[in-house]
């Protein structure tokens, strides 16, 4: 219910929202949790394993009870913490983990079966028979034990990722964080202040306290106003810092439009990488629940959460509130409620020296030992030391077992927190994250005054480290009450007492783990699943440790903590992968002929990041094979045009360019004449073939290397590596010019005729023989011409600056068509090169060496080169190695398939008998059949042998004959035309 | 992780390509023998502590960089151009 005159919500802005289909009203500034409590909705979920009713436990991002699903369809978002989700007009949320409804849930029968579902029940109950696991047990468990579900649809929301840089990152905007930010910002430091709440102020908004003789809220508002007026400060609300990483890098998740009806073009979330020279962690502390029988009933919350609902949202979570405490701090809850006119049934304090009540009874030296109520709390029982049990009628229990500093980020770089007996909790170990200092409650300083002092001091230290001039600050006065606490983790007694509300882990489960010898905290965690729910044990870890320590007769510090890992709060995969959905997954590279190719109806296929035409369909053609056969015919009989710009082009210049190429290629390039091109083979240092291609010498100290499309990047990286790491003595420079030049293959008997129609100076066989290269002028544009061939035909490649590419492609193709030829695509290119036995990365696939592909004589004996020494290892020239061969069908089955295996005719087709495999196949119009390339053990000596080609996946078995890999024009006469 | 490129300054590690131990700089003579070559091409230490790696500023200035860092503390202790390191040792 609402409490008049309290809260920061805007009562002039009512909003309607739906929960499980029922419409409710809240106000702007409400979270779903505060709005539900204001409407007296107590039960909001069912638990993970036992399907017990669950209510709202806290008021922050660590919420252990109130997980809901927001939205529907592709926008459905499961496991949203109702304490974090702000309401907006039209918000629709559903409870989770119940069927058919929250009130009546069939699987709550699990709660009756609880004796069988304790710690380790997965391992014990579902062991045998083995086959039942997949078919029966797992599907049943998955259905019954779980939290929210994904929609199964592609995520329709937009996400963003971003970088930010600062001198000082302040994490948290409670009193210590605000003080740190003020001190640093006033000294001129670039400050980023991150606050995971929608408003700044941290606990200041949830408490009634004074700073500098004004209310804590007002002091915080003034501090934020000052900070927001400064250019050197960036305030980021709704932003959770999720992880601390190397070199001052922090991950942060900003909830940009989760609170808006319409995103208005904004992303749903932005994942930030913040690089900070220094950081101050002011993350506060999390109040810990106490384990007692039936402590999981809706209506049982933490004491500070009750204060937050009162002060921040103007909501009383109950009509008659009881406080259960072992420390002074929790008594504020009773005081504040009474001051606001809310009835307090009493304070039950475990300490006999607890403070007296101010308008409410205090039951000293007593412990709450049970709760009752159907779907929400109706009463609590409490027991005195002498065993006397009493009962209070109450609909809200505000419990506090003390506070746990939020040490998480200080442990993300493998740090461990240390035990502080004075507060009975873990505090950060200094220096665990370089450049990060913890202050205030997360550092174990629980009074407001101590928080302000530490915030100021840490900022001064950071300023000193940054070399900035510091300005002395007055730290304002504030409450400085001592933290008085008597440890209490679990109230003794029968029945189930919950530690982990999300994963349904009880005190008994932890004790059982210890009994069954899972005594290490890491083993206990995995055996019981304690701390493995979305809150990652923020509410339960320390208490569970304490119970384990007790059960194993060790102290808590000796028992130790589990490892704290990022993220601090759940981070959606979508935000981490922002921009990478669909087309964003990989950039698309288009050639200059892309538009013209698409206009001609060419299906574009991926070649790395590039897109290349598969074939160019002509009117009346029904299959790609018809188009491919026609295009092969262009090249063999007339002239074909193909965009080859995707091949890597590396410009190599300098007096030592030739010597450099001699070192990276197996063969000689320093001896290549200017105006000539040579085929080169490049090895990795282990002797395996890395890449191949042609390199042209355009001048004395100027070469242009061509790489394969796939290896353009790796070869560039390799060349830079060789130049910088191995041969800095060579005077040579490298630059990739792949995108600067549009390059087209012009191939076929009429290729020169086609080119001579364009070239300003005509060429002939004398002045432009096979492997010649040089500068030409085509239709007034200066370009380069290379007489090289990947088809075995008389062919050229002509290159022009990329801006002329589209025009040149259209001119070449239309003129080729007039000569009985035309454009050809990748399919035809592939057939043409297979007919000639030319290799691609299908053959040089990372396991083949020069010997395997029949090029061992290309490894020059006159010089050293990368890979030479290792390629001479005896095992790499063993005749039994698989060697490149041609394969043609000779039986009734004419189809060949790449990836199939070769077997001796008499052997059975099992893996152990495989003699080799197929790498490339294509249908050759020339021979009227499929032909292929492959690798066969001792293959060069087996030409003429008949074998079986078996494709076990596609179920193809063909009788084949092994042959020379060069099927077409083995003498090579055509290329010299 | 942040790496200071000697030419470009401190940059996010996503701009760099990682290749491995900087012993790659010490290419043996062709006739150094099988053991030396096997060691050079295949064998690498995996230290818990200080290590020297080669990183390539692929999305930057294309420098190969020798990065000295601590695998336990994640500190980057020193960066230098590989060409400078190589020239100093040869
Ligand atoms: Zn650089």
**How many contiguous H segments (helices) and E segments (strands) does chain A have?**
23, 50
How many Å separate Cα A200 from the centre of its chain?
Answer: 29
- Residue in chain B closest to A874 (alpha carbons) equals B34
The verdict on residue A40 lying in a domain is: yes
Model ipTM?
A: 0.98
Specify the pLDDT at position A636. Answer: 98
DSSP sequence for A728-742: TTS--EEEE-TTTEE
Is the predicted pLDDT of residue A141 greater than 80, yes or no?
Answer: no
Of the residues A556, A571, A586, the one at which a domain ends:
A571
* Chain A residues within an 8 Å CB radius of B44: none
| Range with lowest mean pLDDT among A115-124, A794-803, A932-941, B64-73 | A115-124
In chain A, pLDDT over 90 holds for what percent of residues? 89
Residue A864 in contact with partner chain B when CB distance is under 8 A: yes
Average pLDDT over residues A418-444: 96
Average pLDDT over residues A929-949: 98
Is the predicted pLDDT of residue A470 greater than 90, yes or no?
Answer: no
- Residue in chain B closest to A685 (alpha carbons) equals B41
* Confidence label for A132 from pLDDT (cuts 50, 70 and 90): low
Specify the pLDDT at position A364. Answer: 97
Chain mean pLDDT for chain A: 94
In terms of domains, do A176 and A242 share one?
A: yes
- What is the rounded distance in angstroms from the CA atom of residue A178 to the CA atom of residue A171? 10
A805 dihedral zone (left: phi>0; alpha: psi -120 to 50; beta): alpha
Spatial CA neighbour of A88 closest among A284, A297, A241, A262? A262
Average pLDDT over residues A706-733: 97
Cβ–Cβ below 8 Å for B19 and A868: no
Domain boundaries, chain B: 2-26+34-89
- Give φ, ψ of A473 to 5 degrees: -115, 145
Cβ–Cβ below 8 Å for B64 and A870: no
- What is the rounded distance in angstroms from the CA atom of residue A413 to the CA atom of residue A779? 64
Q: Is the four-CA dihedral A22, A24, A28, A33 of positive or negative sign? A: negative
- Here the CATH number for the domain that contains residue A518 is 1.10.10.1100
The verdict on residue A650 lying in a domain is: no
* Confidence label for A491 from pLDDT (cuts 50, 70 and 90): very high
* Confidence label for A674 from pLDDT (cuts 50, 70 and 90): very high
- What is the rounded distance in angstroms from the CA atom of residue A896 to the CA atom of residue A921? 6
* Confidence label for A127 from pLDDT (cuts 50, 70 and 90): low
Interface test with B, best of A165, A435, A728 (most B CBs within 10 A): A728
Average pLDDT over residues A401-417: 96
Pairing mode, strands A379-384 and A389-393: antiparallel
In terms of domains, do A165 and A227 share one?
A: yes
Range of the domain at A520: 495-571
Specify the pLDDT at position A685. Answer: 97
- Give φ, ψ of A435 to 5 degrees: 85, 0
Average pLDDT over residues A119-135: 62
Average pLDDT over residues A140-162: 79
In terms of domains, do A176 and A92 share one?
A: no
- What is the rounded distance in angstroms from the CA atom of residue A698 to the CA atom of residue A674? 6
- What is the rounded distance in angstroms from the CA atom of residue A165 to the CA atom of residue A173? 19
Specify the pLDDT at position A116. Answer: 65
The verdict on residue A909 lying in a domain is: yes
Specify the pLDDT at position A142. Answer: 57
The verdict on residue A303 lying in a domain is: no
Is the predicted pLDDT of residue A125 greater than 90, yes or no?
Answer: no
Is the predicted pLDDT of residue A605 greater than 60, yes or no?
Answer: yes
Average pLDDT over residues A475-487: 94
Contact (CB, 8 A) for A613 and A825: yes
- Here the CATH number for the domain that contains residue A23 is 3.10.20.440
How many Å separate Cα A552 from the centre of its chain?
Answer: 39
Residue B44 in contact with partner chain A when CB distance is under 8 A: no
- Here the CATH number for the domain that contains residue A242 is 3.50.50.60
In terms of domains, do A278 and A169 share one?
A: yes
Residue B74 in contact with partner chain A when CB distance is under 8 A: yes
The verdict on residue A972 lying in a domain is: yes
In terms of domains, do A279 and A409 share one?
A: yes
The verdict on residue A276 lying in a domain is: yes
Is the predicted pLDDT of residue A143 greater than 60, yes or no?
Answer: no
- What is the rounded distance in angstroms from the CA atom of residue A225 to the CA atom of residue A940? 82
Average pLDDT over residues A101-105: 77
Q: Say yes or no: domain B2-26+34-89 is CATH 3.40.50.620.
A: no
* Confidence label for A648 from pLDDT (cuts 50, 70 and 90): very high
Specify the pLDDT at position A263. Answer: 84
Residue A726 in contact with partner chain B when CB distance is under 8 A: yes
In terms of domains, do A922 and A970 share one?
A: yes
* Confidence label for A890 from pLDDT (cuts 50, 70 and 90): very high
* Confidence label for A144 from pLDDT (cuts 50, 70 and 90): low
* Confidence label for A133 from pLDDT (cuts 50, 70 and 90): low
What's the pTM value of the predicted model, to 2 decimals?
0.90
Cβ–Cβ below 8 Å for B2 and A247: yes
In terms of domains, do A280 and A410 share one?
A: yes
In terms of domains, do A502 and A461 share one?
A: no
Could you read off the pLDDT of A26-51 as tens digits, one per residue? 999 999 999 999 999 999 998 888 88
Tallying the residues shown for chain B, one arrives at 90
In chain A, pLDDT over 70 holds for what percent of residues? 97
Quick check: bond before A567 cis, omega within 30?
A: yes
Give the number of domains in chain A.
4
In terms of domains, do A452 and A508 share one?
A: no
In terms of domains, do A440 and A510 share one?
A: no
The verdict on residue A432 lying in a domain is: yes
Of residues A263 and A118, more confidence is placed in A263
């Amino acid at each position: 219910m609402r409490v008049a005159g309290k809260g920061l919500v805007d009562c002039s802005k009512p909003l309607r929202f739906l929960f499980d289909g029922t419409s409710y009203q809240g106000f702007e500034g409400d979270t779903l949790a505060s709005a539900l409590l204001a409407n007296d909705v107590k039960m909001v979920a069912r638990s993970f394993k036992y399907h017990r009713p669950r209510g709202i436990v806290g008021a922050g991002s660590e919420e252990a009870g109130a997980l809901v699903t927001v939205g529907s369809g592709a926008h459905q978002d499961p496991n949203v913490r109702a304490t974090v989700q702000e309401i907006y007009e039209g918000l629709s949320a559903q409870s989770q983990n119940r069927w058919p409804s929250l009130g009546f849930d069939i699987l709550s029968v699990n709660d009756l079966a609880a004796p069988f579902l304790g710690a380790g029940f997965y391992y014990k109950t579902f062991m045998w028979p083995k086959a039942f696991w997949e078919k029966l047990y797992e599907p049943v468990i998955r259905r019954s034990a779980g939290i929210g579900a994904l929609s199964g649809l592609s995520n329709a929301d937009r996400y963003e990722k971003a970088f930010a840089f600062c001198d000082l990152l302040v994490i948290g905007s409670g009193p210590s964080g605000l003080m740190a930010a003020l001190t640093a910002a006033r000294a001129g430091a670039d400050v980023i202040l991150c606050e995971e709440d929608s408003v700044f102020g941290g606990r200041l908004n949830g408490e009634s306290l004074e700073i500098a003789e004004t209310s804590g809220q007002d002091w915080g508002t003034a501090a934020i106003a000052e900070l927001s007026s400064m250019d050197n400060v960036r305030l980021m609300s709704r932003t959770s810092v999720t992880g601390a990483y190397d070199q001052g890098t922090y991950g942060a998740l900003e909830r940009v439009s989760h609170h808006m009806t319409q995103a208005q073009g904004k992303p749903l979330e932005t994942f930030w990488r913040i690089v900070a020279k220094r950081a101050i962690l002011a993350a506060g502390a999390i109040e810990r629940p106490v384990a007692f029988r039936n402590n999981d009933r809706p209506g049982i919350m933490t004491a500070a959460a009750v204060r937050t609902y009162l002060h921040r949202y103007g909501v009383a979570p109950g009509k008659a509130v009881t406080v259960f405490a072992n420390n002074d701090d929790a008594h504020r809850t009773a005081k504040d409620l009474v001051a606001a006119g809310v009835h307090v049934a009493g304070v039950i304090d475990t300490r006999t020296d607890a403070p007296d009540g101010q308008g409410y009874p205090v039951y000293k030296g007593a412990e709450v030992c049970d709760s009752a109520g159907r779907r929400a709390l109706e009463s609590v029982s409490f027991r005195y030391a002498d065993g006397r049990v009493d009962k209070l009628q109450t609909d809200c229990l505000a419990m506090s077992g003390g506070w746990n500093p939020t040490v998480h980020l200080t442990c993300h770089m493998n740090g461990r927190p240390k035990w502080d007996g004075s507060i009975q909790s873990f505090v950060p170990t200094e220096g665990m994250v370089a450049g990060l200092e913890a202050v205030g409650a997360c550092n174990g300083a629980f009074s407001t005054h101590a928080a302000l002092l530490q915030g100021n001091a840490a900022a001064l230290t950071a300023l000193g480290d940054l070399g900035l001039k510091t300005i002395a600050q007055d730290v304002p006065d504030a409450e400085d009450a001592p933290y008085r606490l008597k440890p209490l983790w679990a109230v003794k007694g029968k029945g189930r007492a919950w530690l982990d509300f999300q994963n349904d882990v009880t005190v008994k489960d932890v004790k059982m783990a210890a009994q069954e010898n899972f005594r290490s905290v890491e083993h206990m965690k995995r055996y019981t699943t304690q701390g493995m729910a979305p809150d990652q044990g923020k509410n339960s870890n320390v208490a569970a440790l304490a119970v384990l320590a007790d059960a194993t007769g060790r102290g808590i510090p000796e028992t130790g903590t589990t490892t704290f890992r990022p993220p601090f709060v759940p981070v959606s995969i979508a935000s981490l992968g922002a921009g990478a959905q669909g087309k964003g997954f990989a950039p698309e590279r288009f050639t200059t002929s892309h538009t013209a190719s698409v206009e001609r109806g060419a299906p574009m296929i991926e070649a790395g990041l590039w897109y290349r035409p598969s074939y160019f369909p002509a009117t009346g053609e029904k299959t790609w094979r018809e188009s491919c056969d026609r295009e092969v015919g262009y090249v063999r009989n007339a002239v074909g045009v193909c965009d080859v710009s995707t091949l890597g082009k590396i410009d190599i210049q300098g007096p030592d360019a030739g010597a450099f190429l001699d070192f990276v290629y197996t063969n000689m390039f320093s001896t290549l004449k200017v105006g000539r091109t040579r085929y080169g083979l490049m090895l990795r240092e282990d002797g395996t073939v890395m890449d191949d291609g042609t390199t042209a010498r355009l001048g004395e100290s100027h070469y242009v290397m061509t790489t394969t499309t796939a290896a353009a990047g790796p070869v560039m990286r390799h060349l830079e590596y060789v130049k910088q790491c191995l041969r800095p003595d060579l005077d040579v420079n490298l630059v990739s010019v792949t995108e600067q030049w549009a390059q087209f293959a012009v191939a076929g008997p009429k290729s020169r005729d086609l080119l001579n129609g364009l070239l300003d100076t005509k060429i002939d066989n004398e002045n432009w023989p096979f492997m010649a290269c040089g500068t030409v002028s085509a239709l007034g544009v200066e370009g380069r011409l290379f007489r090289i061939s990947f088809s075995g035909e008389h062919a050229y490649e002509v290159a022009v600056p990329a801006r002329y590419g589209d025009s040149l492609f259209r001119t070449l193709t239309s003129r080729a068509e007039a000569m009985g030829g035309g454009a050809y695509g990748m399919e035809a290119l592939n057939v043409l090169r297979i007919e000639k036995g030319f290799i691609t990365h299908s053959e040089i696939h990372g396991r083949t060496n020069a010997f395997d592909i029949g090029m061992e004589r290309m490894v020059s004996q006159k010089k050293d080169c990368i890979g030479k020494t290792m390629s001479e290892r005896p095992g790499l020239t063993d005749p039994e190695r698989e060697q490149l061969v041609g394969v043609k069908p000779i039986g009734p089955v004419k189809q060949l398939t790449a990836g199939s295996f070769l077997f001796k005719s008499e052997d059975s087709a099992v893996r152990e008998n495989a003699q080799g495999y197929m790498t490339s196949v294509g249908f050759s119009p020339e021979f009227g059949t499929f032909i292929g390339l492959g690798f066969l053990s001792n293959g060069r000596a087996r030409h003429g042998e008949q074998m079986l080609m078996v494709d076990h996946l596609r179920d193809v078995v063909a009788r084949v004959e092994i042959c020379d890999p060069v099927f077409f024009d083995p003498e090579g006469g055509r290329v010299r035309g | 992780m942040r790496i200071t490129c000697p030419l470009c300054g401190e940059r996010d590690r996503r701009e760099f390509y990682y290749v491995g131990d900087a012993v790659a700089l010490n290419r043996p003579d062709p006739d150094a023998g099988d053991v030396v070559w096997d060691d050079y091409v295949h064998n690498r230490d995996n230290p818990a502590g200080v290590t020297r790696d080669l990183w390539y500023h692929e999305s930057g200035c294309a420098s190969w960089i020798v990065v000295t860092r601590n695998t336990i503390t994640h500190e980057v202790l020193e960066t230098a151009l590989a060409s400078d390191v190589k020239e100093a040792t040869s």
